[in-house]
Structure 1
Amino acid sequence: MTDRAGALTLVAVVEFAVGAAGQRYEDAVLALLGRHGGRLERRLRGTDGQTEVHVIRFDGRAGYESFLVDPNRAALRTALGDAAPTTPVIEVHEA
């Protein structure tokens, strides 16, 4: 959901396959946020070591949409193949 200023806040629940490749992928992908008007507000790691929760904010929906189709992001995901994390994303707002 976008707020009155047009900002979009998302929560991503990242579930890693076994191994550290998924975490390296997330490090690289999160570094791309800024070029799309996005920023990582919180990055929390589950005690199981296989799950992270990211709170991400974009200046607007267009930035999020451009992030999703970023060719560098797509290339990173393709390179990781089946080891790529699964990541449901939820749009959120302050209650």
Structure 2
Amino acid sequence: MAVTYLLLARLPEGGLGSFNAYERAVLPLLAEYGGRLERRLRTLDDRVEVHLITFPGSEDLAAYRADARRLEAAPSLESSGAEVEVLAVREV
């Protein structure tokens, strides 16, 4: 059964460049795991980014998160200083 996730990334001042570099590296990998980026939104001050991402199942998200290329890009995420939260969500 498909699962939709909400990713919330809070970015500190000056973290956007590294965060964008990380996103350029990892978002193209989603499709390899059946993932689909439904929405990608950012606040007007560029300090919070939200994604709605759907995967066929939770195991597909786990496989995506374990992808070696994603792990290789992790230093960009770390240097951005982003605080990231991932929540499984549903329509109400």
Fold match (TM-score > 0.5): yes
Q: Is there any run of 5+ residues in structure 1 with no aligned partner, and where?
A: 1-5
* Cα drift, residue 83 of structure 1: 2.4
Q: Cα–Cα, structure 1 residues 87 and 7, in superposed 2: closer, same or farther, change >3 Å? A: same
**Structure 1 partner of 2:83:** 86
**8 A Cα contact 1:77 1:84, kept in partner:** no
Which 10-residue stretch deviates more, 78-87 or 28-37? 78-87
Q: Cα–Cα, structure 1 residues 54 and 79, in superposed 2: closer, same or farther, change >3 Å? A: closer
The size of the alignment, in residue pairs, is 90
Structure 1 runs (4+) deviating above 4 angstroms are none
**Structure 1 partner of 2:55:** 58
Q: Cα–Cα, structure 1 residues 35 and 84, in superposed 2: closer, same or farther, change >3 Å? A: farther
**Structure 1 partner of 2:11:** 16
Q: Output the aligned Cα RMSD.
A: 1.5
TM, length-normalised to structure 2: 0.87
**Structure 1 partner of 2:42:** 45
Q: Is there any run of 5+ residues in structure 2 with no aligned partner, and where?
A: none
